Amino acid sequence: MAKCSTILLSSLIAAITVQAQKPKAATAQTPKIATAAQAPPMGWMSWNAFGPNITEDLLKQTADALVSSGMKDAGYKYIFIDDGWQGTRDAQHHLHPDPKKFPSGIRALADYVHSKGLRLGIYSDAAPRTCGGFTGSLGFEKQDAADFAAWGIDYLKYDYCNAPEDSATAKTRYTTMYKALAASGRKILLGICEWGVRQPWRWAAGAGGTVWRTSGDIRDKWKARPNEEGMGILDIVDINAPLDQYAKKGHWNDPDMLVAGLYGKKGPASDLGGTGCNDLEYQSQFSLYCIMAAPLAASNDLRNLNGYTKTILTNKEAISIDQDALGIQGKRLVNDDTWEIFLKPLANGDTAVAILNKADQPQAADIRWPDLGLNGAYKVRDVWSHREIKEIGTVKSHETRLLRLRRI
Ligand code: GLA
């Protein structure tokens, strides 16, 4: 395994200066925002598996499944309603849900979700029409925010289809909605979704965003083929990883939904080559999102959750790395042809390490911790086998080993 060590050493020389134990100071321009989440939001989002075909029954059943599967216990709090819930505006400009899909109204759904100890997210768009062509909120921000508050909404995913290309307008439109939410009298987190087009990591926290999407929509695949439209897990990790300096407690880079358990299921995530991944690849996405302190939004049909997917989504040791109190996005220290290695300092002094084998065959990993700036002796815990390990050994193709290192 000397070969691997050599690769690591050469690619790490510049990176060893990583300030593994130092939390970053908040930048001067980030305002204090009362609605910020203390840890990356966790929940389930309706879009990838169901697109606009959502109903109150589906969402209630999903809330039930979130509880019965143990996901709520593991930290998932939100049912995020995505696009497709909307009906029309009435003469007083109130936006109503589609009465066929939500005959009891959103308030009743929110009551149901809250009765399970969960929270409810909703979706709109900073334009007259959403990405799915439904009614958007532009010009009606105050009214929509007030109605969301009255319904008991806890989170708004605010999309940017059918809006102008420039950044200044985007900042203004998001700030307008943020202010409307802040004035609504209810704590409603704002999720900014303009797909990273206008570098939202530079301004979204200042516009009230708790999270901001860093990429276009994820498809249910590992990686796009050359010239293939539609990004997979690895394509999006590649966009999100270098943005670590912009994430901080309360404001997170959002690399889009988890695709675990979709298995190519027909729906928006199956478009553009989204024919599905294997379980190890889904597990890899989860590990990489945890080390990157990403929001964790499952998007598979939770009413039919298999054992492997449940094991992935409810791994509390992995989730504690994602939700760690320091709120630092792990830094990618190695990114060569076949390996990626990330490091994330944790609040109790431990360090999380993720090691991804990108090759199409297994590879032995022989990591020397000092090469990663980790000097001294460590106990190494494998977060997936839940055991202390002495050596990393072979990493399977597309597998990510997720480790927690404790200094001894
Ligand atoms: C955009 C977003 C998706 C989803 C759809 C809904 O594509 O990026 O996450 O919300 O709109 O139409």
* pLDDT tier for residue 37 given thresholds of 50, 70 and 90: confident
Beta carbons of 36 and 210 less than 8 angstroms apart: yes
Nearest protein Cα to ligand 1, atom 8: 217
pLDDT reading at 393 higher than 50: yes
CB distance 384 to ligand 1 below 6 Å: no
CB distance 35 to ligand 1 below 6 Å: no
CB distance 281 to ligand 1 below 6 Å: no
**Rounded CA gap, 364 and 4, in Å?**
8
State which H helix or E strand residue 290 sits in.
helix 279-291
Write down the mean pLDDT value for the chain.
92
CB distance 47 to ligand 1 below 6 Å: yes
**Rounded CA gap, 399 and 72, in Å?**
26
% of the chain beyond a pLDDT of 70: 91
Nearest protein Cα to ligand 1, atom 11: 131
CB distance 300 to ligand 1 below 6 Å: no
Beta carbons of 223 and 234 less than 8 angstroms apart: yes
Mean pLDDT lowest for which of 22-36, 84-98, 281-295, 361-375? Answer: 22-36
Using one digit for the tens of pLDDT, what is the confidence trace for 198-254? 999 999 999 999 999 999 999 999 999 999 999 999 999 999 999 999 999 999 999
pLDDT reading at 286 higher than 50: yes
Give the bridge partners for 45, in sequence order. Answer: 80
pLDDT (0 to 100) of residue 187: 96
Neighbours of 31 (CB within 10 A): 12
Mean pLDDT lowest for which of 283-287, 347-351, 362-366? Answer: 362-366
Residues assigned a catalytic role: 159, 217
Entry pTM: 0.92
DSSP state of 121: E
pLDDT reading at 321 higher than 50: yes
For residue 82, the ligand 1 atom closest to its alpha carbon is 10
Mean pLDDT lowest for which of 95-99, 169-173, 177-181, 362-366? Answer: 362-366
For residue 123, the ligand 1 atom closest to its alpha carbon is 10
For residue 193, the ligand 1 atom closest to its alpha carbon is 8
